[in-house]
Chain A
Amino acid sequence: MRADQILHPTPAGLYCPPGDFYIDPIRPVPRALITHGHGDHARSGHGAVMATRQTLEIMAIRYGTDFAGQTQAADGPLRVGDTTVSFHPAGHILGSAQIAVQPDHGPRIVVSGDYCRHPNPVSAAYEPVACDIFVTEATFGLPVFKHPDPAGEMTRLIASMAEFPERPHLIGAYALGKAQRLIMLARQAGIDGPIAIHGALQRLCDYHVEQGIDLGPLVPATAKQVEAQLVIAPPSAFASAWVQRFRDPVIGFASGWMTVRARARQRGVELPLVISDHVDWPQVTRTITELAPSEVWITHGAEDGLMRWCELEGIPARPLRLVGYEDEPE
């Protein structure tokens, strides 16, 4: 069987005919395999969903327990149609996985989903999985993206908090994964006191604590008087009247995009923090070099840059041009 008969893009998402399933479909489908809990990958309304136990639990928190007709936790290799599938840590967020698809006849394909190789206290470390075809994101698929050590970014945050002790520091971070990682980074950097979190983060933070990730003392940032200098909120909160309760805040944002000044300015950010849970350029190119697949498929992101690199390296590559995934759905 040819590779594109095993997996190919459709309007609903990547489809696997021999297994009769979709991976991270953007529309309701009878059977979905889901890499991780971010909203653009994990949607509700599918007939059956297979994902890691943590991804299933996260989906239940976000969409309610009836988010799919039936669910199955992915433990070890599993038969689906005429394929064997297995889930492997992706290092992106809690529960995130790469999905390896082994058809009975034909090449082995690894769909990496969103992945990251920086150490991340809220996610199991990325595990390289040998394959014939490696399906990768290219969110930061340009050589300008070399994410710095996050500890250095925390040093900048702490310096700003010391320089402006009277100003609350409101840092935008996506509710799932990035927010908890930011809290853990703050703890590692020595911020022991209470950190305030926006109401939209509460249940996901609670879930991380239940999973054994000690986030330390958290207080709600919904009160009239917020008792913490460091406040973490999802990006959408910054357009709402919620911000108005803070007096002269420093607005920050934690994202890989903050590498580029124009992007930080667009967001009206005063303290850009380059903290990403996606592979940067050195990581994505190193991963491809290590895995040495016979072909690379690029799902979404800055595919032109990565395509060019593959061309220079003599690695066959093709863009899948999947739509429906956000720029950095962290």
Chain B
Amino acid sequence: MRAFSTLLERLAFTPARNAKLRILRHYLEQTPDPDRGFALAALTGGLKLRTVTPGLLRGLMVERVDEQLFALSYDFVGDLAETIALLWDTDRDEDVPLHQAVALLSDTGKAGLPTAIAGMLDRLGASQRLAFLKLATGNMRIGLSARMARIALAEMGDPDVAQIEEIWHGLTPPYQPLFDWIAGGPRPEQAAKAPFRPVMLSTPVDLDQLQAFRPEDYVAEWKWDGIRVQAINDGGVRRLYSRTGEDIGTSFPDLIEALNFDGTVDGELLVRRGDDVAVFGDLQKRLGRKQVGRGMLDSHPASLRVYDLMIWQGRDLRDLPLTQRRAVLDGADFGSDRIDVSPLLPFATWDDLAALRADPPAAVIEGVMIKRRDSVYVGGRPRGPWFKWKRDPHVVDAVLLYAQRGHGKRSGFYSDFTFGLWDADQLVPVGKAYFGFTDEELRELDRFVRNNTIERFGPVRSVAPKLVLEVAFEGLNASGRHKAGVAMRFPRISRIRWDKPVAEADHLSTLKAMIA
């Protein structure tokens, strides 16, 4: 577990994605089975262990440390598991195999747990104690998605990410067959029903680029602002996956119940009330819930708008051209009014399509999708067959208020910018942006921040409200977490308005009026 504890610590402190990937890949390459498999499961939430409560851990400390010293320590450290890991008094530092710790946490009965945990802590040094306690409390928080873990796996051998995704959901920790496959062995059998299939993605396009193509070779449809999903009913096994293969079915039991078909379909998850598709913010309220209350199911009903059929009634349609898949789709009966088909748009020229895109019938449409009629369905993001032509972003003129130093390639530069809008005569922070500018602009912004600092708080500086930034964003959600009551989606700095007086920046009311 020594290597595992080092891995956790490195991942927790490493901000850059690529650096995290390298650390994880090295760990997976250097660690023997089954420990690397259990580590992978622990990081990606795939490990089902007995959850150790804070109460149990506090109980262990009461017997060992003076109450006042414990309280002072906890107050300083701020994290229970970390406090205990640091306070635990032992001279031993054995390298206990991770699988032993996992076995302890999955096999020990409730009554024996405190003694077993104390016994394990007695054998470990401080960083291993922390790793063990994080494992026990089920609280890793290292910012690593299952998708990233699969990318690291793909870098280790021949199978690519799409191939790994395809079998991922049939695998269980410690994933021995997966590692064998990566090392050159046979591909694991897809044992599980309703596996995730790699999703076909599009590339961005604009009107100029479209001129190179013939409109008659393509079909177009609305790009709905929901969540791209893959819905499956495979011999009665129902699954709802995000486009990166996360199983999100538990948050959408109403839709799962409606998957009364036989096949694997590609579509958009939406909240729809009758014919009205709700804004993304309504869908967001349904995300990530382990349990959904009756009231939420009634007020925010989930639905599926189908774009494509991958497998239908036992036939894999992915190698057929789009028009043939679409013909099957148009004739399909989904047996539920929660499921409908994304309509095709009539157009003869790219200008026709531009006109449609400029005036969509619903606010929840974020542009159009353009797909080659003869395109077969392939996982990944091939260049060419499918395009997304997104609606132009919203923009506001905001005022730079705070700046924070960046990491990695932006070390030493103030590169994370908090901006605000006027509310009466005050500037209220409304969001944060850390891209959209060129390297040259970053240097200019950095210089501006240094020359206009009012106060410093660690890596953050407050800046004299002198500079207007044009901020582009894709949409808005009402948000209780933000002081201004709204949260922007994908905000970025589209222009630096050196010319614009601060008094002419936009007002919060302008932004709030944009919430559909």
Q: State the Cβ distance, B158 to closest chain A Cβ, in Å.
A: 23
Chain A interface size, as a band, is 35 or more
Residue of A with least CB distance to B130 = A261
Given the interface pairs A262-B77, A271-B13, A304-B72, the reply to whether A146 lies near B126 with Cβ below 8 Å is yes
A268 touches B458 (CB 8 A): yes
- Write out the residue numbers on chain B whose beta carbons fall within 8 Å of the beta carbon of A240: 412
Within 8 A of B (CB), among A94-137: none
Given the interface pairs A241-B450, A271-B13, the reply to whether A260 lies near B409 with Cβ below 8 Å is no
Q: In this assembly, does B73 line the interface, its C-beta being within 8 Å of a C-beta of chain A?
A: yes
Q: In this assembly, does B22 line the interface, its C-beta being within 8 Å of a C-beta of chain A?
A: yes
Assembly CA distance A299 to B6 (angstroms):
36
- Write out the residue numbers on chain B whose beta carbons fall within 8 Å of the beta carbon of A146: 86, 126
Q: State the Cβ distance, A129 to closest chain B Cβ, in Å.
A: 27
Residue of B with least CB distance to A264 = B13
- Write out the residue numbers on chain B whose beta carbons fall within 8 Å of the beta carbon of A302: 72, 76
- Write out the residue numbers on chain B whose beta carbons fall within 8 Å of the beta carbon of A249: 408, 411-412
Q: State the Cβ distance, B85 to closest chain A Cβ, in Å.
A: 9
A239 touches B69 (CB 8 A): no
Residue of B with least CB distance to A261 = B82
A251 touches B77 (CB 8 A): no
Q: In this assembly, does B456 line the interface, its C-beta being within 8 Å of a C-beta of chain A?
A: yes
Residue of A with least CB distance to B19 = A164
Residue of B with least CB distance to A155 = B6
- Write out the residue numbers on chain A whose beta carbons fall within 8 Å of the beta carbon of B462: none
Given the interface pairs A144-B87, A270-B13, A312-B66, the reply to whether A260 lies near B76 with Cβ below 8 Å is yes
Cβ proximity bits A138-154 to B, threshold 8 Å, 1 near / 0 not? 00001111101000000
Within 8 A of A (CB), among B1-56: 6, 10, 12-16, 19, 22-23, 26
Given the interface pairs A241-B412, A268-B459, the reply to whether A305 lies near B69 with Cβ below 8 Å is yes
Q: In this assembly, does B474 line the interface, its C-beta being within 8 Å of a C-beta of chain A?
A: no
Assembly CA distance A170 to B73 (angstroms):
30
B126 touches A308 (CB 8 A): no
Assembly CA distance A284 to B515 (angstroms):
59
Cβ proximity bits B396-415 to A, threshold 8 Å, 1 near / 0 not? 00000000010111011100
B405 touches A144 (CB 8 A): no
Assembly CA distance A9 to B77 (angstroms):
30
- Write out the residue numbers on chain A whose beta carbons fall within 8 Å of the beta carbon of B19: 164
B446 touches A241 (CB 8 A): yes
Given the interface pairs A144-B87, A244-B412, A249-B411, the reply to whether A163 lies near B23 with Cβ below 8 Å is yes
- Output the residue of B16, B79, B408, B446 with the most chain A CB within 10 A: B408
- Write out the residue numbers on chain A whose beta carbons fall within 8 Å of the beta carbon of B65: 143
Assembly CA distance A61 to B204 (angstroms):
61
A269 touches B22 (CB 8 A): no
Q: In this assembly, does A63 line the interface, its C-beta being within 8 Å of a C-beta of chain B?
A: no
Given the interface pairs A143-B73, A261-B79, the reply to whether A269 lies near B87 with Cβ below 8 Å is no
A305 touches B77 (CB 8 A): no
Q: State the Cβ distance, B170 to closest chain A Cβ, in Å.
A: 32
Q: In this assembly, does B480 line the interface, its C-beta being within 8 Å of a C-beta of chain A?
A: no
Assembly CA distance A27 to B411 (angstroms):
37
Assembly CA distance A309 to B68 (angstroms):
10
Given the interface pairs A261-B82, A262-B77, the reply to whether A142 lies near B69 with Cβ below 8 Å is yes
Assembly CA distance A309 to B412 (angstroms):
42
A270 touches B15 (CB 8 A): yes
The interface on chain B, measured as residues whose beta carbon lies within 8 A of the other chain's beta carbons, has a size of 38
- Write out the residue numbers on chain B whose beta carbons fall within 8 Å of the beta carbon of A247: 409
Q: In this assembly, does B260 line the interface, its C-beta being within 8 Å of a C-beta of chain A?
A: no
Q: Is the interface of B mostly helix, strand, loop or mixed?
A: helix
- Write out the residue numbers on chain A whose beta carbons fall within 8 Å of the beta carbon of B13: 264-265, 269-272
- Write out the residue numbers on chain B whose beta carbons fall within 8 Å of the beta carbon of A148: 126
Residue of B with least CB distance to A145 = B86
Q: In this assembly, does A248 line the interface, its C-beta being within 8 Å of a C-beta of chain B?
A: yes
- Write out the residue numbers on chain B whose beta carbons fall within 8 Å of the beta carbon of A142: 69, 72-73, 76
B412 touches A308 (CB 8 A): no
- Write out the residue numbers on chain B whose beta carbons fall within 8 Å of the beta carbon of A305: 69, 72-73
Assembly CA distance A143 to B405 (angstroms):
33
Residue of B with least CB distance to A156 = B6
Given the interface pairs A267-B458, A272-B13, the reply to whether A144 lies near B413 with Cβ below 8 Å is no
Given the interface pairs A268-B407, A308-B69, the reply to whether A243 lies near B77 with Cβ below 8 Å is no
Q: In this assembly, does B242 line the interface, its C-beta being within 8 Å of a C-beta of chain A?
A: no
Cβ proximity bits A281-305 to B, threshold 8 Å, 1 near / 0 not? 0000000000000000000001011
Q: In this assembly, does A259 line the interface, its C-beta being within 8 Å of a C-beta of chain B?
A: yes
Q: In this assembly, does B137 line the interface, its C-beta being within 8 Å of a C-beta of chain A?
A: no
- Output the residue of A249, A260, A309 with the most chain B CB within 10 A: A260
- Write out the residue numbers on chain A whose beta carbons fall within 8 Å of the beta carbon of B407: 251, 268, 270
Q: In this assembly, does A266 line the interface, its C-beta being within 8 Å of a C-beta of chain B?
A: yes
- Output the residue of B16, B86, B450 with the most chain A CB within 10 A: B86
A144 touches B408 (CB 8 A): no
- Write out the residue numbers on chain A whose beta carbons fall within 8 Å of the beta carbon of B87: 143-144
Q: In this assembly, does A207 line the interface, its C-beta being within 8 Å of a C-beta of chain B?
A: no
Within 8 A of A (CB), among B442-461: 446, 450, 456, 458-459
Assembly CA distance A65 to B292 (angstroms):
74
- Write out the residue numbers on chain A whose beta carbons fall within 8 Å of the beta carbon of B23: 163
Instruction: Give 28 CB contacts A-B under 8 Å.
Output: A142-B69, A144-B86, A156-B6, A163-B23, A163-B26, A239-B405, A239-B456, A240-B412, A242-B412, A243-B411, A244-B412, A244-B446, A248-B16, A251-B407, A251-B411, A260-B77, A260-B86, A262-B77, A266-B458, A267-B459, A268-B405, A268-B458, A269-B13, A270-B13, A270-B14, A302-B72, A305-B72, A308-B68
13 more CB-based (< 8 A) A-B contacts, given A143-B87, A260-B82 = A142-B69, A143-B65, A144-B77, A170-B411, A246-B411, A249-B411, A260-B77, A262-B77, A266-B458, A270-B407, A305-B69, A308-B69, A312-B66
